[in-house]
Amino acid sequence: MKNTQFTPAWFHVATLLIALIVPSVHAEILSGKVVRIADGDTVTVLDASRNQHKIRLVGIDAPEKKMPFGNRSKQSLSEMVFNRHVQVEYDKKDRYGRTLGKIVLGGVDVNLEQVKAGMAWHYKHYQREQSEEDRAAYSQAEDEARVAKRGLWKDAAPTPPWEWRKRNRR
């Protein structure tokens, strides 16, 4: 009769290897008050210790200030979060030292709301860094905003900010 309680050694080794290879999804939470809106995808949050954190909204790219809808995108974000206490879910910083995060206010994903309102693109270049659920929601929100011609989608062919930045670097 076989002992069903016995687990082969290779199983333990395989489990350990999988745990080491597969990155864990471990988001940190920052709580604080939004004290500055730089543009439609960047804010500054002041935490309880009075430290300021520059937050780049992950998963989206909003028009630059000098682009069409740049000021409107900033205004939209400001109306949602300025002077409000928010939660920022994050797990890393970008090359400029900004915290890459998802802002949540009252259970609502603010980044997603910017896309729904047509105030930002789903930043597909970095979509692998999003959860599958967020990736699908942001992509669908952009498609719906485009079809409804909301915000920047009122323009027949809006220039994405990554293309605009590339052209203006030269």
Residue 111's domain comprises 28-152
- Which SS3 state, helix, strand or coil, does residue 71 take? helix
Main-chain phi, psi angles of 123, to 5 degrees: -85, 85
**Nearest CA-CA partner of 42 in 130, 107, 101:** 101
Residue 169 — very low, low, confident or very high, per pLDDT cuts 50/70/90? Answer: confident
Which is the catalytic residue, given 28, 95, 98, 169?
98
Catalytic residue flag (residue 36): no
How many structural domains comprise the chain? 1
Residue 167 lies in a domain: no
Catalytic residue flag (residue 142): no
Residue 21 lies in a domain: no
Whichever domain contains 93, its CATH number is: 2.40.50.90
Which is the catalytic residue, given 28, 56, 129, 144?
56
When mean pLDDT is compared across 21-35, 51-65, 113-127, the lowest value belongs to 21-35
Radius of gyration of the chain (CA): 20
pLDDT at 109 over 90: yes
Residue 117 lies in a domain: yes
pLDDT at position 7 is 53
The 10s digit of each residue's pLDDT in 144-168 is 999 999 999 999 899 999 999 999 8
Triad 103, 166, 100: Cα angle to 5°: 20
**Nearest CA-CA partner of 89 in 37, 166, 25:** 25
Let me know: does 36 contact 53? Beta carbons within 8 Å: no
pLDDT at 112 over 50: yes
Catalytic residue flag (residue 98): yes
The 10s digit of each residue's pLDDT in 97-107 is 999 999 999 99
pLDDT at 21 over 90: no
Entry pTM: 0.83
Which is the catalytic residue, given 36, 64, 128, 129?
64
Residue 45 lies in a domain: yes
